[in-house]
Amino acid sequence: MMSKRQLLTIKQEIIDSFNTPASKANVSRYFDLLEEGRVRPKYVVQRLEYLIRMGHSNIENTDKLKEMYDFKLYYEKNKDEMSDYYENKNINTNT
């Protein structure tokens, strides 16, 4: 289970992963409620799981949420060594 701090750390990445404006608005509202303390992190994770299962997100499953958090922490710690997230990607290709 993810904590409030973990969820809020990757808030923008999660919102950006949703495909439709309505699902983005719902997820944004869940995070606003979480920040205000009106809902628990467990509720937000359950709502995210439901939207992911329904296919509204580019995230494949809920394990990816933890991976997103771990990657964000790793990137923040090593951002001086990692010049850019897409440093090895040629933007002119489809790979």
Let me know if residue 87 belongs to a domain: no
53-69 confidence digits (pLDDT tens): 999 999 998 899 999 99
Let me know if residue 14 belongs to a domain: yes
Per the CB < 8 A criterion, the answer to whether 2 and 10 are in contact is: no
89: pLDDT confidence band, cut at 50, 70 and 90?
Answer: low
Let me know if residue 95 belongs to a domain: no
Rounded to an integer, the average pLDDT of 8-20 is 95
Let me know if residue 38 belongs to a domain: yes
Q: What is the domain extent for residue 40?
A: 4-77
User: How many independent structural domains does the chain possess?
Assistant: 1
Share of the chain above pLDDT 70, in %: 83
